[in-house]
Structure 1
Amino acid sequence: MKKYQIIFHIDLNAFFASCEEAVNPALKALPVGIGKNSDRGILTTANYVARQFGVRSAMNVYEAKRLCPALQVVPPNFALYEEMSQKFFDYLRTLTDQVEPASIDEAYLDMTESLQGVHPVKVAENILKTLYRKHQLPASIGIAPNMFLAKMASDMKKPMGITVLRKRDVKDKMWPLPIEAMHGIGKKTVPNLKLLGIQTIQDLANFEDVERLRKFLGSQTDQYIGRARGDDMRKLDPSKAEEVHSIGNSRTFEGFLHTYDDMIQKLSILTDSVIERLLNHALACKTIMVQVRFSDFTQQSRHFSLPYHTNDAGDLHETVEFLFDELYRDQPVHLLGVSVSNLEQQAMLFKQLNLFETPMTEPEEDEVQTVLKQINAHYGQTVLRKGFDSH
């Protein structure tokens, strides 16, 4: 008799906000957003009380406070989040050694050999209870025969939910969902798919003009159609926990940096050098880290994981400045460093084309980047950078 995989996907709910509530329980009854408390600040997440008012992650603080005037904006505490994440993964590894981290707050577990005759839902219930009792971390769990379905299932009941998604459940539970709910379909791709008439996951699973679809999903078109049908051949890989691939650059300033503007300028140069190395190696990153050593030789770092891989200059410069603002204090700086990790080959990531773009536009874009690199190389520093349309 064939033995089917039993994959759990465990996703901590509103992780940053849950960490803050764990150390300050008074926040649990209040609407809470995590971010820099200024009108230009961006929320990294919001707790479920705030979400009832329409507040969500990636929303600017001004808009969030307009929707919810009582919103408590809490600055990020990355050291706390790293500590809580470590406790999360330490606990998961007491259940099985087949754990693949997906991010700081989610993981896949292959429980096929670890259930010891206990029903998967009973095991999942115990996991939820233990995480909340020991660490005050609410979570949702998806249970399925493959990684994709487990991920889709964990999103179906939040917070503190358990969903079983079998292959035979796909038509009833997953196909009616809007296409934007499908894991892996980016926000820029959704409008293009909808213009093709793909409104739901079922529409993608049954789309007949595959060659037309390939213009938007690229080399991974067949993979996404397969996943829409409930198929995913990936095998869970625990070794990903040990893989460390990063690109970084740092600089020591003997005379120290004394002004915020000087620090930002030097960080910008370091960021440009990291971007150039990413492009030269055809890589994209997901995690960005900034390191600062102050004049008293105390050293701090902060990192942030984007929800997508990128080597876009705008994304990286904006994230680096955000992280530095979290570290900044009115004190001279001795060292600055910028590094990126969680890398992927750019060729492995499909390009999400706008419906009105064609591949013919790509050489022109490459020529612009080449000219900018030649000019900057001539002057020995970044004097020009590609602009971004704010409209």
Structure 2
Amino acid sequence: MQSKGRAIFHVDMNSFYASVEMAFDPSLRGKPLAICGNPAERKGIVVTSSYEARKKGVRTTMPLWEARRLCPDLLVMRPNFDRYRKASSEMFKLLQEVTPIIQPVSIDEGYMDVTDCSHLGSTLEIAQTLQERILKELDLPCSIGIAPNKFLAKMASDMKKPLGITVLRKRDISSILWPLPIEEMYGVGAKTAEKMRTLGIQTIGELAHKDKYQLKRIFGVNGERLANRANGIDDRPVDPEAVHSFKSIGSSQTLPHDTTDDKELDKLLSQLSKSVEKRMQRKEAIAKGIQLMIRYHDRKTITRSMKLQHFLESADEVFQHAQTLLQKHWNGEPIRLLGVSVFDVAEKKEVGKQLDLFTYEKEAEKEGLYKAIDDLTSKFGKNPFRRVQASTSDEVRTSFQKDFLDDYKK
């Protein structure tokens, strides 16, 4: 690593959920383990699996019945998100001891800028020490990619798992990165890879040498961006504040069975709306748009959205508009999954609420009620008017939130 250039780490926890369960219960070590969204519903979908299970062909998003066919002795556990969030927070605290320039991107991965950490040793020594500490103190394995930018660091961390450390320099791109199939490039999804193959782009190297004007014409600005990344160009900083930026807030859930029952669909819409409200409250946010996702029994998926004249923030408002979208766009076929999200999101402190006369009067009428609820909430520690949810489904439904990714700072 050149001393004058940036030194970026991408720290990627290995088989995170399964590894956390093994750290919690050592008797699971060395056994094929799958963490499954909900084994009782649709026989479950694999969220992640141990490397022992992966060797048998078990993969993320695979139906549980298929995973069990491939690996008859598979152990199956429901996810424990409180446990994973705690482990994630402890992991990021260890990263923070190296540098404050950390950008969490999910519960089990993040970037670090260690350019100015030479007092701790070489970049390779820092990575080795960090990996050893995470393994020794948390009993969790991770892989670390070391590179002069975020894209190359991300690609490097995927090259050796578990417990790998990979250095990817710009001078190594032609020999290490370019021969890889285009679908292995971070940022290239299945559909994009398929379209690129029709243009004769089979490898990352062929993308790197493709005419940028043609790529931009076909893929928009993302085409030029991907070509730059393929050439090792990525000037994005490691941004500790990026975790606070958000464009949309949403929640989705698969139904226990395909249904056309209005009451069942409304019940789920209500639950999803409450989940969205919780997340908006946590972010102290309001939104001006709402989107509904419908996945049918044949997995065909549609999304429909609407822009609003005013900001919304309550579950009732979210539910009302989501219900309107469902009634307008549902074709009557059995539904497998519903998702509700709000967009054009802004922080309350940055946006003065735009109220027309009618809205103002309605808000004013409820102000006394809001104050009474706030007073009682302060006294008793929770909203006494909110019904307690006996089900744990909300925990699963909101498991992939990023709201908690700065908890390690607290």
TM-score exceeds 0.5 = yes
Is 1:188 aligned to 2:226, yes or no? Answer: no
Deviation at 1:213, TM superposition (A): 2.8
- Three-state SS of the structure 1 residue aligned to 2:121 is coil
Contact 1:176 1:201 in 2 (8 A): yes
**Deviation, structure 1 residue 244:** 6.5
When residues 312 and 244 of structure 1 are mapped into structure 2, their CA distance, relative to the original with a 3 A threshold, is closer
Query: Does structure 1 residue 56 correspond to structure 2 residue 36?
Result: no
> Are the counterparts in 2 of residues 269 and 381 from structure 1 also a CA contact under 8 Å?
no
Per-residue displacement from partner, 1:229-256 (whole Å, max 9, x unpaired)? Answer: 111011111112445776479xxxxxxx
* C-alpha distance in structure 2 between counterparts of 1:389 and 1:215, whole Å: 39
Give the structure 2 partner of residue 355 of structure 1.
none
Tell me the amino acid that sits aligned with residue 91 of structure 2.
Answer: F
TM-score when normalising by structure 2: 0.64
SS in 2 for 1:153: helix
Q: Indicate the residue corresponding to 1:220 in structure 2.
A: 222
Equivalence for 2:294? 314
Q: Which residue does the alignment assign to 2:406?
A: none
Evaluate the alpha carbon distance shift between residue 31 and residue 117 of structure 1 in structure 2; reply closer, same or farther with a 3 A threshold: closer
Please give the residue correspondences for 1:13-162 in structure 2 after superposition, counting only pairs within 5 Å.
13-35=14-36, 36-38=38-40, 40-116=43-119, 118-162=121-165
Per-residue CA deviations over 1:187-209 (Å, capped at 9, x if unaligned) read 2211111121111100100113x
- Find the partner of 2:241 among 227, 239, 250: 239
Q: Is the 8 A contact 2:249 2:276 kept in 1?
A: no
Matched, 1:383 2:327: yes
Structure 1 residue 114 displacement after superposition: 1.3
Separation of aligned partners in 2, 1:60 and 1:102: 26
| 1:42-79 deviations in Å (ceiling 9; x for gaps) | 11111100000010101110111111111111101011
What is aligned with 1:279? none
Q: 1:380 to 1:8 in 2, by over 3 A?
A: closer
Offset at 1:263?
A: 6.9
Q: Does 1:178 align with 2:158?
A: no
The 1:86/1:290 distance shift into structure 2, 3 A limit, reads farther
Residue-by-residue CA offset, 1:294-322 (whole Å, 9 max, x unaligned): xxxxxxx9xxxxxxxx966037x99xxxx
1:264 to 1:229, Cα distance in 2 relative to 1, 3 A: same
SS in structure 1 of the partner of residue 97 of structure 2: helix
1:312–1:150 distance in 2 versus 1, CA, 3 Å = farther
| Residue identity (%) | 39
- 1:193-208 to 2 correspondences below 5 Å: 193-208=196-211
| Number of residue pairs the alignment of both structures matches | 295
Decide whether the 8 Å contact of 1:30 with 1:50 is kept in 2.
Answer: yes
| Secondary structure, counterpart of 2:220 in structure 1 | helix
TM-score (norm 1): 0.67
